[in-house]
Amino acid sequence: MKHTHLEIRSGAYYDSVVLMQLHRALADLPGVDDAGVVMATPANKELLLDSDLLPAESDTSGPDDLLIVIRADDEAEAIEAIGQVDALLASRRSTVVHEFKPRSMSAAAKQLPDADWVLISVPGRYAADVAREALDLGKHVFLYSDNVSLADEIELKQTAGERGLLVMGPDCGTAMINGIGLGFANRVRRGSIGIVGASGTGLQAIMAGIHNYGGGVSQAIGTGGRDLNSEVGAATALQGLALLSEDDETNVIVLVSKPPDPEIAVQLLSTARNSGKPVVVQFVGYAPPGRRIGNLHFAVSLSEAAEVSVQLSVSSDQLEESEYRSLNTDYWLRGLFSGGTLAYEATLALGALLQPLYSNVPVHAEQKLPVGDITAAHAIFDLGADEFTVGRLHPMIDNDLRIRRMRREAADPNVGLILLDVVLGEGAHADPASELGPAIAACLQIAGERLEVVAFVVGTDEDPQDLEGQIAQLQRVGARVFDNLTDTADYITHKFSASESDTPAISIDTLRKPLAAINVGLESFYDSLTDQGAAAVQMDWRPPAGGNEKLMDILAKIKSK
């Protein structure tokens, strides 16, 4: 018959890696059927109960106690296994065992004055308070801990922004600062590619891919998985983009995450658009608006993102400053299309950087045109759709509907740009520019400097309408003309991109100074830092108030007064 034996060690706190190693070593002993080694929190004890490993009648442990449970073939083997715990703990690998470990973060900061970073990997219910303490000391935070509340994350990142600090996380598994990997990071060569990642393993895959394709990484900034939620507002991702834009050692930026909330995607891409550097974007599972819009290069896989970034890093091509005047971003765009597929493609391309955008050929459900007039929003209309062609000719043949709509939009003081497609070829209007041209001129004269008309012409030099002649007519009346939608979208998104960002500024020294850190939690992270040559100090962290929730609340209230 199986025998279960339990031992409680009061106040003996160990991190989760040590407990995992001890659990495995005990479970592998002869005669041991199963083992449990946990800090005796209610949640951990519930797991032991579910596994039939905890004899409840003999358990008097508290959350700051180490709880060791052995289930063996008989009592003697269980007792013998318990007797080996100290030897197994002593044999665990740690470079910190024989060094002084400060009990407070302020003491750790005095021990290592150059430490600008604090790595936090304590249980989630304590992590936010540890992060607040780090921010109060003016330290950047790598917050590996999960199970941190959304409210705490928002508060921490707002506080960090106000103080010019960075909070990577919570639940941030990977980063690399100035050549030193934090958390789960691959060893990669230094180079000119910087990464901002809201996906830990995605960031690792791109870092490894860059290395394997022959490139190198300048910095890798993790954000935590929730950073790109609308509630958090991409606080860390925007700070990361701003830092890498300023970093002279970063020539190419990679932005990777699971699909962000739509409004956050627009904000991120607009910021990346204004970075002044090539940016490779890989939103996993996100329909890219095209292969390229200006300096934005969209990849369809993590491997492709790595490959494209390496290609860009060795290219001699330099981004050129646009000669085009920017629009007041309070103005709106109206796209008046004769081609349904072209309208859909424009919605896809422009929707990635303009928001809100509505269309009667929406790419996403939230882009569907609402009932009534569109006012404070961008909009793209397929005027060849059924709802517009009842009782009239298709706009590829008859321009009347588009001209009427153009005049209406030009009269709206909130509209700053009208976008048209002009499709040539057999069966189309014999001379569309002869009708559209005068209408464009009249609209520009009425609206003045506020309005710009952009057209892209689809045709060949063999079409009966005379491609060059059509372009010339449109240009003479003041329209800006392109021959493809990609260049058109590039031009428009550049014009509507905000020229200034309200992202809290962080000193570029954050990326330039040799990394020195205080590690709070997993000692394996300390070992990793020192193995890479970084200066680090391991803090001897224990749960406050012995993990007693009521006493913790009392202490917190006293501290807040």
Per-chain mean pLDDT for the chain: 86
pLDDT tens-digit readout, 319-342: 554 444 455 567 899 999 998 899
The answer to whether 221 touches 182, Cβ cutoff 8 Å, is: no
pLDDT of residue 134: 97
pLDDT at residue 500 in the model: 54
Q: Mean per-residue pLDDT for 399-415?
A: 93
Q: Which residue has the higher pLDDT, 38 or 15?
A: 38
pLDDT surpassing 70 at residue 308? yes
CA distances from 325 to 162, 209, 497 (A): 33, 39, 11
What does the pLDDT read at residue 361? 92
pLDDT at 406 over 80: yes
Angstrom distance (rounded) from CA 267 to CA 497: 9
Indicate the pLDDT class of residue 545, thresholds 50, 70 and 90.
low
357-374, pLDDT tens digit by residue? 999 999 888 889 887 777
Q: Give me 268's structure tokens.
A: 């991120």
CA distance 180 to 200: 16
Residue 379 confidence (pLDDT):
94
DSSP label of 390: T
Q: Which of 282, 234, 319, 281 is nearest to 501 (CA)?
A: 234
Question: Residue 142, Cα to own-chain centre: how many angstroms?
Answer: 15
Q: What is the mean pLDDT of residues 442-467?
A: 93
Domain boundaries defined on the chain: 3-91, 98-171+513-561, 174-316+502-511, 332-496
> Does 218 or 558 have the greater pLDDT score?
218
Distance CA 210, CA 126 (A): 36
CB proximity list for 545: less than 8 A, separation 6 or greater:
551, 552, 554, 555
Overall average pLDDT of the 214-229 stretch: 94
Lookup: tokens for 6: 């339990």
Overall average pLDDT of the 512-532 stretch: 92
Domain 3-91 class in CATH? alpha beta
Assign domain 332-496 to its CATH architecture: 3-Layer(aba) Sandwich (3.40)
- Average pLDDT, stretch 337-351? 91
Q: How many helices (H) and strands (E) does the chain have?
A: 20, 22
Rounded CA-CA distance 131/142 in Å is 9
Q: How confident is the model at residue 476 (pLDDT cuts 50, 70, 90)?
A: very high
Q: Whole-angstrom Cα distance, residue 286 to residue 284? A: 6
Smallest CA-to-CA distance from 305 within 258, 268, 254, 265 is with 254
Distance CA 279, CA 295 (A): 6
Q: What is the mean pLDDT of residues 351-360?
A: 88
pLDDT of amino acid 95: 45
- CA 199, 203, 204 angle in degrees (round to 5)? 125
| Cis amide bond preceding 170, omega within 30 | yes
| Mean local confidence (pLDDT), 382-386 | 90
Distance separating alpha carbons of residues 361 and 229, to the nearest angstrom: 26
The sign of the torsion formed by the CA atoms of 356, 360, 362, 365 equals positive
Q: What is the pTM of this model?
A: 0.78
What pLDDT is recorded for position 557? 52
Q: Which of 239-243, 378-382, 387-391 shows the lowest per-residue confidence on average (mean pLDDT)?
A: 387-391
98-171+513-561 placed in CATH 3.40.50.720? yes
Q: What is the pLDDT at residue 321? A: 47
Residue 81 — pLDDT band, cuts 50, 70, 90?
confident
Residue 265 is predicted with a pLDDT of 87
Domains 98-171+513-561 and 332-496 share a fold: yes
Residues 336/410, Cβ–Cβ less than 8 Å: no
pLDDT computed for residue 11 by the predictor: 65
Span 38-60, average pLDDT: 73
The answer, yes or no, to whether residue 82 has pLDDT greater than 60, is yes
Closest CA to 196 of 145, 251, 238: 238
Q: What pLDDT score does 470 carry?
A: 95
CA 226 to chain CA centroid, nearest Å: 8
Q: How far is CA 386 from CA 228, 312, 401, 409, 517, in A?
A: 38, 44, 13, 21, 64
- Contact between residue 271 and residue 296 where contact means Cβ atoms under 8 Å apart: no
Residue 139 has pLDDT above 90, yes or no: yes
What is the strand order of the sheet 117-120 is part of? 167-168, 140-143, 117-120, 516-520, 535-539
* Domain 174-316+502-511 belongs in CATH node 3.40.50.261: yes
| Residue 316: predicted pLDDT | 47
Nearest C-alpha neighbor of 18 from the set 527, 404, 534, 530: 527
User: Does residue 403 register a pLDDT over 90?
Assistant: yes
